[in-house]
Every structure is written in structure tokens, then in C-alpha cells.
Chain A
Amino acid sequence: MHPADRTFHRWALTLLAAWVLLMAPALAPALAREAAPASADPVLENRVMRLSSELRCLVCQNETIAASHADLAVDLRNQVREMLREGQSEADVTRYMTERYGDFILYRPPVKSTTVVLWYGPAVLLVAGLGGLWWILRRRNRLAADQFDDDEPVAAPDGSVRADDLQGPR
């Protein structure tokens, strides 16, 4: 390794270590102990909030029932809490909601025949896009050299050509 590289690495590692140590107090609060919360069962409450944040408030329609102050949202939150407390599963709660309000109430659309395109579309597009790029580039590179433009770097309006405009590996 180039001696200058070694110096840089040494400096950079020192700075990095210092930065991580500085950050530690900010992160450490996550380790501090919490006082007992008001709610009787924080674990249950957590589950209620998590589930509620995936259910749509039908009154305002642009909030989750976790965040909404609407009466119906409060009622539904209570319903969720009661069902979870009784020991029903999250799937049970979801089924309860969709039986009454349809799929509209779910912010996480169910995977059905009508939503296959929705859920798998992006992955298919990703593979197709990257694959397509690969294919286009390979085909491009097989063309004869005279099909391409000259390799001159473009000068700036002030006439200069910069070092990083140069091509090829060093």
C-alpha cells in the first residue's frame, strides 16, 4: 500500500472511532430504564398501536386509526385492544375488520389475485430493468467502433478541459 494511503487510513479510522464514541451518549438513552408507564400492559399497547397503524381510519381516510382522533377510530382501537387481550391473533383482528369494512380498511393490501401485479410488479420491474440494461449494453458494445462518436472530451464554455474529463484507468 502507498504510504500516503496508510496515513489516510490511520487518520480516518481515528476520526471514525471518535465519532462513534461521541454518538454513544446519544444512542445510550435507548439503554436507560423506563419508569412504569401509565397503561396497564405496555406490551399489549405496543401491539395495539402497531396493528392500528396499519388500519385506515374510514372517517378521515388519510390517517391510521392509531393516529386519528375520530370517534370511530377510538372505538376500533378499543376493539383491537379487546380482541388482543382475549388472546386473538393479529390475523383474527384483520379478518374482523375486513368482514365489516372490506379490504379498504387495510393499509397493507392483501395478496390476492387482484393484487398480484401490485405486490410482485416492482420486483419484476427491477429484474427486467437491470437485465434489460445489461442486454442493451452488451449489444451496444458488439457494434463496430465506427458507429460511435469520437472520443474527444467536451470542452467547457471557457475552453478548458479538466483532468477528470480524461478517460480510462490510471
Chain B
Amino acid sequence: MISANLSAIFYLISGVLFILALRGLSSPETARQGNFFGIIGMVIAITVTFLSIGSFSTGFAYVLIFLLIGGLIGAFIAYKIPMTAMPELVAGFHSLVGLAAVFVAISAFLNPEAFNLGSPGDIKLGSLIEMSIGAAVGAITFSGSIIAFLKLQGIMSGSPITFKGQHPLNALILISIVVVTYLLCSTQSSSLFWILLAISFLIGFLLIIPIGGADMPVVISMLNSYSGWAAAGIGFTLENTALIITGALVGSSGAILSYIMCKGMNRSFFNVILGGFGAIEQSGSSGSKEQRPVKSGNAEDAAFLMKNASSVIIVPGYGMAVAQAQHALREMVDTLKKNDIKVSYAIHPVAGRMPGHMNVLLAEANVPYDEVFELEEINNNFANADVAFVIGANDVTNPAAKTDPQSPIYGMPVLDVEKCKSVLFVKRSLSPGYAGIDNDLFYKENTLMLFADAKKMTENITKNL
């Protein structure tokens, strides 16, 4: 058994190691070392917890068993999961953090003596407030992440689900959460605690259903942030420094990512959260628009254009992930490079379904990370490039964001693909993208549409090179 002061120091050390884990991610070279720091921090935190309890009773065996069961499941998932499924995986993991926070809060509420928080029915007020916040945020994280997971997995439709009176209903529930928390803290009633959990689960569910599939980068980042705040709430209850530091880090990390994602779409956070984007706009304009001529081509045409180019910029999007085309794409690029054609990749901040989604897929396909560029880094290069190869992206290339103030995506930063000498657009059909709007790029003089599955088309192009 070690003293409370000593264990507090060790918790502080593991908190510092977690900061270093995030710090390492500032560059791919230091990132692996950072992850290692994170693991050490976790080992220290768990070991110290064991030591601070001291008496090695039979309960310990059960702790190890449950730890091992979880660990094996986690390790199995980590090795099996395909990289294209990362968004679902992260959403699933968020839900587990949320649920774990809820369970710890329940346990502390039922048996406050174990945590030195008072006795049942007479819990210290401060602890009860912290506990309620941790439990409520944890419950919202859990049910929200489940919905996000179902939408990303395709089990639930990715289109926004909206109904009349949705926003007033949500507002009412959010207010009732505050009221119930207040009543819970003044009466210590256990039934109010369960009611608080129930309505928190409900609001998590209701908050995410109106948000469409392509807004998932914001949702995942937001839930990431919530899982941090939930952990911090529990950290305050348990008076544990490691948990407080980590909760704050994760909370601000998720918030920053949501901000970056919103900025990438030029939409306010509230606009995304209120949801319904892209669901309604479609019906009005599509009927009135006349059919415009489109140039379409096949793999041979595309190969011909690329063979005669001296530089090619690849613009990947969610469609590449769906078609699992990243490996075929890299093979195509290898062939291009053999012909001394300069190739680089342009990544829009909201390409894919989560922050950094495209980068991971390209890394998986052995694309060196110094060939992959962010929007600001590469946008000026389109004017000097010969061919832009757009694979599975749409709205992020739409010039209407710069020219048409009526467009719902007006003001969104887009890749200046149209400045290239020619544009190759791999797409299944002319259907509009997520925002429900037509892409002018399809009808440009220098655009060649390649209607096909992204993977098959890329493979065919490689054959023709």
C-alpha cells in the first residue's frame, strides 16, 4: 500500500506522459514515440491504482479477468479492423468511454463510501454535482456515438432524420436535464439519478439523428470532446489528477477538431448541430434545370491525358474509401512516376468521414506522407498542374463555393481543381453530392467525366498507361 500523496504524484506523472503522447503527434517521426509515452502513462496509472488499494483480495483476480477480457476484445478489434472503417471504430470507442463513465458514476452513487464521498443519501454536494455532470455527459456521449456508429456503418440511413418540433423538444429536454440535476443535488433521491441518466441517453440520441452522413467529421470530433469532459467530470469526483488532466486534454482536442471541421465547411458549429443539411434543398431546383452537355470518357482517354502530362494532382474523397480504391490508386501513381510524371495528393479538411481519414488510407496504401498536402499548401499549384484526378470527391471541388452566393456551400474553402489544364472526374453518376447541389465542374470544357466504380476505373487506367 502506498500513500495517497505518492500515488497522486504518480497520477500526475501519467498525466504528463499523456500530454507528451499528444505532443508527439506534431510530426509522423515523433508520433510512435508519443504513442509509447501514452502506453507508459496508462501502465503507471493502473499499477498505482492497484498499489494504492493494497490488500490483494480475491476481488483482484476478478479485476484482472475483466481487464483481460476487455483487453483481448480490444486487441482483436485493433488488428482486424480495416482502415476504411476507422470512423466507425472511433465512434464505437467513444461510446465505450461514455458508458464506462456512466458505470463509474452509478457505482459511485450507489456506494459513495468506497470513494470517500459520504454515504448513500448523504453524498457531499460538490461530489454529487461532479458525478451528475460526468454521468449526464457520459450518457450523451454513449447514445450519440451509437447513432453516429450506426450511420457510419450504414445500418442506419446517413440522411438526416428530421421531424416537426424537433428543436423545441431538444431544448426542453436540455432544460429538464439542468432542472433534474438541480433537484437531484438538493434531494439526493436515487430515482432522480436514474431519470437524469434516462433523459441524457435520450438527448444524445435525438441530437445526432438529424445530422447527415457527411457532417460526421464534426459529430465524431464533438463526441470526442464530450468523452473528454465526461472523463474530467468523473476525475473531479474521484479527485484523480490523471483523469482531470486527460479529460481536459481530450475535451479541448475534440473541440479544436470540431472547429477545424466546421471551418472546412464554412458553417457554424450550431448550423451543423441543428442538422437537416442537404435534406430539403434538392427538390426545388433540380426539376427546372435543363440538361447540360457533359464530356464523358473511358480509361484509355484518361490514360492518354495523364501520359502526356508532366504533373498530376490527385484529389481523393469519401468515394475512394467506399470503393476501397486507395491501393489501386497508388499502383496507378507508381506507373505515372515511372514515366517521370510528378504526382501529389490534395486533401480537403473535410474529405472523408472523419478528420484525417484520407491521410490514413493513403498511408495504408504506402503513399509517402510528404507527397500528401493540405488544402492551403497545394491550392496554388493547381494552376500549374496538367491534370487533376478527382476520385470520390465532389462538393469540396465545386467552384460554386467561390462564385455563386446563392449556393448553400458558398464561402466554403474548396480545392481550385478547375484551374488545372484538364480535370478527370471519377464518379458513378452525375448525381449531386452531399450538399444536394450540382457541381459546375462536371460541365466545364476541360473536364472529362469517367463514369465507373473508382477502383475498377483506376485499375483500367493503370493497364492503359
The answer to whether A and B assemble together is no
